[in-house]
Amino acid sequence: MPDFSKILTGFGAVALPLVLSAGLAAAQSTDEEAAEAPVTDDGLSLGTAAEPQVGQAYAAEFNGDWELRCVKTESGEDPCQMVQLLTDPEGAPIAEFSLYRLAEENPAAAGATVIVPLETALQAQLTIQVDSQQAKRYPYAFCNQVGCYARIGLTEEDVASYKRGNQAVLSIVPMAAQDQRVTVTLSLSGFTASFDKTSVSNR
């Protein structure tokens, strides 16, 4: 097993901003809301509910190890996707896995985006193995200041295996040690419950 602390220096720092952005946005409140918060006789604020504003992401619920993350819309029909943060053995963020369903006319039943650190060797591709099944390899699509992105499609058979499975192992190759593979575990606890509530996208 590679030494995470040496190979993955900075990995968590790269992946974390995107993961935290939704939580920070959902926690924001306007000055007007703060002013309306009830106070005690000695001036202690009792606070108000921090409702998400239009365009902000928020955590709608949690199922097992999955977060159902939605975006507030004016119509109230908020689109949602399921998200899980993957960490190393010390608990540092390494990758993020987000998934949405696709309309029936698409060849894939679901689409997913996997974000990995910038220090990843892109030519080695991303490998995902559900339990003891045959692993699949996916190319990276692009990188930005947050990290490198793999945009993958899951067939009906893939989704069924995720629903039945216990965990999926994601394997990446760090640029600093291309003779080694670093693995992180994607828990499939709560996958089915979250998948059934995830929005359908036409993209």
Q: What is the pLDDT of residues 74-109, one digit of tens each?
A: 887 889 999 999 988 888 888 999 999 999 888 999
Architecture (CATH level 2) of domain 4-25+54-201: Sandwich (2.60)
pLDDT category, 186, cuts 50, 70, 90? very high
Tell whether the model's pLDDT for residue 24 goes beyond 70.
no
Written as six digits, the tokens of 89 are 């053995």
pLDDT at 152: 96
Q: What percent of the chain has pLDDT over 90?
A: 53
Length of the chain: 203
pLDDT at 88: 83
Closest to 100 (Cα-Cα) out of 131, 127, 66, 129: 66
pLDDT at 59: 84
Tell whether the model's pLDDT for residue 158 goes beyond 70.
yes
For 200, phi then psi, to 5°, come to: -95, 130
Residues 6+ apart with CB under 8 A from 112: 97, 98, 99, 100, 151, 152, 153, 154
Range among 2-16, 33-47, 51-65, 138-152 with highest mean pLDDT value: 138-152
pLDDT at 37: 75
pLDDT category, 201, cuts 50, 70, 90? confident
- Integer Cα distance of 112 and 132 in angstroms: 21
Name the least confident of 1-5, 47-51, 61-65, 86-90: 1-5
Tell whether the model's pLDDT for residue 183 goes beyond 70.
yes
Rounded mean pLDDT, 12-40: 48
Q: Are 184 and 167 in contact (CB under 8 A)?
A: no
- What SS3 state is found at 26? helix
Tell whether the model's pLDDT for residue 171 goes beyond 50.
yes
